[in-house]
Amino acid sequence: MIREKNMLQDVTPPKRSIQDIPIPENKNKKNARDKSSDRKSIGFFGANGGKKSKKLKKKLWFFLILLGVALLLFFLLMSSKAVVTIVPLQAQQRVDANFVAVSEKETGGIPFDIVMIDKVGSKEVTSTKEENVQEKASGQIVIFNNFDKNTQRLIVNTRFETSEGLIYRIKNSVVVPGQTVDSSGKTIPGSIEVTVYADQPGEKYNIGLSDFTIPGFKGTDRFDGFYARSKTEMTGGFEGVKRVASEKDVEKARAEISAELEQQLSQEILTKIPEDFVLFSDGLFISSNFFGTSDSEDVSDGMVEVKEKVSVYAVIFNKEDLSKQIASEAISSYQGEDILITNFKDLIFEIKNRDEVEPWLEGRFIFSLKGEVNFEWLFDEEKLKNDFVGQSKNETNNILANYHGIASAKVKITPFWKNSFSRSTSQIQIVKKLE
C-alpha cells in the first residue's frame, strides 16, 4: 500500500536558532575599506607613494627654510650700516682785542666783504612858491684800476671827465682796489662803485651811460690804467624856475622816506648774506642822499615830489677766515688747522671810530671783539667716510690719527656680527656730537 507523503512537512524548513543565521557584510563599509586600501597602495605617485610624499615634503620645507635664511642674510647685508659718532676737538677762550679788517683785495688784516643794496623813494608835498633853483645832476659810476696790483686812494673832489668834456666829482675819498688774477691766469682790474656829482648845475649834465677819464692822472703812466664807466644815467640837473616846497616840508618828507626804506632794506639785506659769512649788528651802515625835488607832469597839481636815496651796506666776514685769525691770537697751541667759532652771536663786535669810517670806500678799518669764544676744530666728513670704506673696525684709531680735529669717536656697525665698514660711503653715517 502506497503511503501518502506529508506534503506540508516537506515544504516547511527545519527550525534553526537565530545564532545559526549568518549576518551579511555591509556593502558600503566594504567599499570604503577597499578605497582606503587602494589609496594606501597607490599614494600620490603610484605604489608606495605615501613614503615618497613625506620625503618630498621634508625636502620642500628644507628648501623654503634655506631660501628664507638666504633672503634674511641678503637683507641684513643690504641694510648694513656704520654710524660713527665724532666728538670734535673743542676749546673755549676769552677774547678782548683789536683787529685790522681789510677789503678782500688788500693785505695786512682780516679780509672782509661788502654787500650793498639801495633804493630811491619819493613823496609828494605841497608846493608853496616858485623859485629860481640850481641843481646838479648825479649818478653812479664804477672806477677801475687796471694799472697794477696796488690800491690807489683818490682824494675828495677827484674829477671824472666825459669825452664831451663834462666834469663830475666825488664828494668823499675812495680807495680803488688793485688788480687780481683769476684761476685761469687772467688779470682782473680792481673796481669800486661810487656816486659822482656834476661840476655845475644844469640839464646838460643829465646824460646817459658814458666812459670817464681821470684828468688828474693826465701826463702820467696811470692815466690809461685808471678809468670809470657809468652804472646809471646822470639825472637831476636843473637850472631855472620851478615850484618848490618849504624846507620844513622837504626835510619831513625826506625823514619819512628814509625811515621807511631803512627798515625795508635792513631786513632785505639779511637775505643776501651768504650762509658761510657772518654779519654783526655793528657792521650794518645806512646812508641817505637827497635826490632833489621835481614838479614834472607826473606830479599832482600844486605838489612837488621829494626824492631820497637810501643805501644799506653790510660789512661781512667769512666765518672760517675770521675764526682762524681769532684763534691764532687767542690759542697758543693753534697751528693753523681748520677751525670755526660756533657762538658768533654771543660776541661783542665794535667798529672803532664808526662815524668816521666808510669801509665800502676806504677798504680798511679797525674793530674790537670781546667775549667767551667757543672754538670747534673742523674735519672733512667726506674724506673720513672714504677712509673708512672697506676697512676693519679695528683700524678706526689708525684712521682717526690722521685727523687732528677729532678728539674721540665711537663706531657702531650693524648687523652686530659684521666687523668691517661697508664698501659704499652711502652706508657710513657721520654724527657730530659737541660736548
Residue 216 near residue 158 (C-beta atoms within 8 A): yes
Dig out the grid coordinates for 200 from the structure.
655845475
pLDDT-derived band of residue 72, with 50, 70 and 90 as boundaries? low
Does the model's pTM come out above 0.85? no
Domain ranges within the chain, ordered by starting residue: 26-76, 130-244
Going by C-alpha positions, the residue among 87, 78, 117, 46 that lies closest to residue 262 is 117
- Using the Cα atoms of residue 350, residue 355, residue 356 and residue 358 in order, give the sign of their dihedral: positive
Per-residue pLDDT tens digits for 115-166: 999 898 999 999 888 888 898 999 999 999 999 988 899 999 999 999 999 9
Q: Do residues 108 and 219 lie in contact, with contact meaning Cβ atoms separated by under 8 Å? A: no
Distances (CA, A) of 377 to 88, 135, 322: 6, 58, 14
Q: Give residue-wise pLDDT tens across range 184-204.
A: 889 999 999 899 999 999 999
In this prediction, residue 20 has a pLDDT band, given cuts at 50, 70 and 90, of: low
**Are the C-beta atoms of 89 and 375 separated by less than 8 Å?**
no
**The pLDDT value given to residue 276:** 94
Please, are residues 230 and 198 in contact by the beta-carbon 8 Å criterion?
A: no
| Residues 6+ away with beta carbon under 8 Å from 85 | 409, 410, 411, 412, 431, 433
Evaluate whether 323 touches 336 at the Cβ level (below 8 Å): no
Q: What is the DSSP string of 270-310?
A: HTTS-TTEEEEEEEEEEEEEEEEEE--TTSPTTEEEEEEEE
11 has a pLDDT exceeding 60? no
Kindly tell me if the per-residue pLDDT of 14 is higher than 80: no
CA distances from 159 to 78, 143, 162, 186, 204 (A): 72, 12, 10, 30, 17
Neighbours of 431 (CB within 10 A): 11
CB burial string 72-87: b at 16+ within 10 A, e below: eeeeeeeebebebebe
Q: What is the pLDDT of residues 267-295, one digit of tens each?
A: 999 999 999 999 999 999 999 888 777 77
Q: Is beta strand 167-170 parallel, antiparallel or unpaired with respect to 81-88?
A: unpaired
The CA distance from 319 to 113, in Å, is 12
Residue pair 173/362 in contact by the 8 Å Cβ criterion: yes
What is d(CA 112, CA 106) in angstroms, rounded to the nearest whole number?
A: 10
Quick one: pLDDT at residue 51?
67
Q: Return the number of other C-beta atoms located less than 10 Å from residue 3's C-beta.
A: 5
The whole-number pLDDT of residue 1 equals 36
Q: Output the CA angle 303-308-312, nearest 5 degrees.
A: 160
Rounded-to-integer distance, Cα 253 and Cα 259, Å: 10
Pairing between β-strand 110-126 and β-strand 90-103 as defined by DSSP bridges? parallel
- In angstroms, the CA 172 to CA 157 distance is 7
Mean per-residue pLDDT for 79-84? 82
List pLDDT tens digits, range 363-415: 889 999 999 999 999 999 999 999 999 889 899 999 999 998 899 999 998 88
Identify the band that residue 252 occupies on the pLDDT scale cut at 50, 70 and 90.
very high
Residue 78 has pLDDT above 60, yes or no: no
Residue 98 has pLDDT above 60, yes or no: yes
pLDDT band (50, 70, 90) for residue 12? very low
Residues contacting residue 65 through CB under 8 Å, at least 6 positions apart? none
Alpha helices, DSSP H, located in 177-334: 247-270, 319-330
